[in-house]
Amino acid sequence: MERPFNLLLITADQWRADHLDLDGEGPVPTPRLAELAREATVFTRHFGQASPCGPARASLYTGRYLFNHRSVTNGTPLDATLSTIALELEKAGYEPTLFGYTDTSADPRVLPPEDPRLRSWEGVLPGFRVGLVLPEAAEPWLDRLARRGYGRMTIEEAYDRSWFEPAPWRAEDSETAFLVDEALAWLERRPKSRPWALHLSLVKPHPPWIAAEPWFARVDPRRTRPPVRAATPAEQARAHPLVAAWLETPFKGSLDPGLRGKGPADLDARTVARLRALYAGLVAEVDHHIGRVLDAVRRRGEWDRTLVLVTSDHGEFLGDHWLLGKGAFFPAAFHVPAILRDPRACASHGRVVRTFTEHVDLLPTILERLGLPVPLQCDGRSLSVFLTGDQPTCGRNAVFWEIDFRDGEEPGVAARLGLGAEESGAAVLFGPRWAYGHFQGLEPLLVDHAADPAWTRNRVDDVAVRGELVAMMRAMLDLRARAVDKRLSGCRLSARGPRGRYDPLPASFAAVVR
């Protein structure tokens, strides 16, 4: 029997699709990923399903749309009855191991009230062994900085500084370098006689955008691309009431101290160019360290027995639409890189796929390529057809994503718009020309994004395009109808017992039920 393949799954947090340079001509230097792409398949129109990190990763790890997994915000529990990529690998005999984080909030229904996992939204996805967890507080990395002579720091002391100055640590001591060092040490200890599954979850280029030299000055701000946006924040705000509310909100969170408390109007062209250069430098650093991991797999003699997937959870606006971060429904927050290498699929090496693909497609693809069954819970479709060199019989003509913008503990955008928690959702169907946005408590949105990439004009009341509006609404309803929960619907009980297919409960949950 053929020995199972290894799996290397790498995610880089908050990484935009247009910050991947495969031909060496763009402003973002990613030579190691370009090298990988020549031996892999690159999906150039790949989109995540949700934002921020927790919901985005829930879709990636379960193969489900947000409206099905319902882990809608950071801190919303992930349903324990769902299987995950880690649980599926575990069932097949792997010991899936995590370096980094998954931002998975535990299901309180299956844990005692005193369980510490219920005190944090930075939990570990069920099924993963822990190689090293690196939460936001990043204590293991800070410990190494202290050991290497930088002094004892908190995460605020390390990162709460101007982004426009190089970090005080050497490049080899960055958070990215540290996590990759730890993962490589683990890989070196792995016996070559057993297949492995490694998930390396890198935090960069997520803010704070603090970079050490040479990455700090790696990209010239004058070479960065200008943002896609209306001429002014006021013009951008006219597109939709929700956009107006977002543009009225001051910046907060893990931003440069000089930006906190300011707003979109402060994102002048020079500031955006400098931010984009810093972000691109961190992408270049991520590229360098991903190259180190790929080299290590080659040195072990396992390159031709390892399935490699490199992607992100979600994107980043970088001044597009006068916004920073990922907390809005525009495509830059959902369009992410996706590079998949199966050494057996030589015909697909160097192939560029411009068909729409989604995060919900990745779990069925990974399992199928590893020769494992695909759970009925998966809403996506395997991308194997693109790896075999065959032409797909039918492809996607649109992609779908969602964002839940309900307020947290303090009143925010939802309160300003008079919306309750279950009214604070946005769903977008994005096609080659038209994008349709549906909002539970607000007017719909129809944009001709091919002619209006800044999304400045809502054409939902334009009689001339009423046919396009109806077609997009029907397509969104059809998508939701196709993706209804299928885990038990194909099963029927009979005198001979259950007939048809159904997804078994994860072993960890079944033990609780028993």
CATH of the domain at 51: 3.40.720.10
Same domain, 92 and 219: yes
Active site residue 53: yes
Domain membership flag for residue 32: yes
Same domain, 40 and 83: yes
Convert the pLDDT of each residue in 126-179 to its tens digit: 999 999 999 999 999 999 999 999 999 999 999 999 999 999 999 999 999 999
Domain membership flag for residue 17: yes
Strand partners, 446: 436
Q: In the listed set 367, 397, 427, which residue is the last one of a domain according to the structure?
A: 397
Report helix, strand or coil for 104: strand
pTM of structure: 0.96
Same domain, 388 and 445: no
The amino acid at residue 467 is G
Contact 78, 59 (CB under 8 A): no
Residue 280 has pLDDT above 60, yes or no: yes
Q: Which domain holds residue 155?
A: 7-227+267-397
Same domain, 408 and 304: no
Between CA 443 and CA 213 the distance in angstroms is 48
CA dihedral 342, 344, 348, 349 (to 10 degrees): 70
User: Tell me, what's the pLDDT at 393?
Assistant: 60
Domain membership flag for residue 508: no
Residue 511 has pLDDT above 70, yes or no: no
Between CA 75 and CA 324 the distance in angstroms is 22
Convert the pLDDT of each residue in 169-218 to its tens digit: 999 999 999 999 999 999 999 999 899 999 999 999 999 999 999 999 99
Domain membership flag for residue 77: yes
Same domain, 332 and 434: no
Convert the pLDDT of each residue in 405-454 to its tens digit: 999 888 999 999 999 999 999 999 999 999 999 998 899 999 999 999 99
User: Tell me, what's the pLDDT at 1?
Assistant: 38
The amino acid at residue 71 is S
Number of structural domains the chain divides into: 2
Same domain, 195 and 336: yes
Domain membership flag for residue 204: yes
Which residues, 6+ apart, have CB-to-CB distance to 376 below 8 Å? 486, 487, 490, 501, 502, 503
Q: Percentage of the chain surpassing pLDDT 90? A: 90
**Mean pLDDT taken over the chain:** 94
User: Tell me, what's the pLDDT at 513?
Assistant: 46
Same domain, 178 and 272: yes
SS3 track for 301-346: CCHHHEEEEEECCCCCCCCHHHCCCCCCCCHHHCECCEEEECCCCH
User: Tell me, what's the pLDDT at 507?
Assistant: 78
Catalytic residue among 53, 346, 394, 491: 53
Domain membership flag for residue 285: yes
Same domain, 69 and 196: yes
Which residues, 6+ apart, have CB-to-CB distance to 475 below 8 Å? 397, 398, 429, 431, 436
Burial class (CB in 10 A: 0-12, 13-18, 19+), 122: buried
Same domain, 428 and 349: no
Convert the pLDDT of each residue in 103-129 to its tens digit: 999 999 999 999 999 999 999 999 999
Q: What is the mean pLDDT of residues 318-333?
A: 97
Strand partners, 197: 7
Same domain, 390 and 300: yes
Confidence of residue 356 (pLDDT cuts 50, 70, 90): very high
Same domain, 392 and 415: no
Same domain, 162 and 299: yes
Residue 514 has pLDDT above 50, yes or no: no
Q: In the listed set 397, 422, 440, which residue is the last one of a domain according to the structure?
A: 397
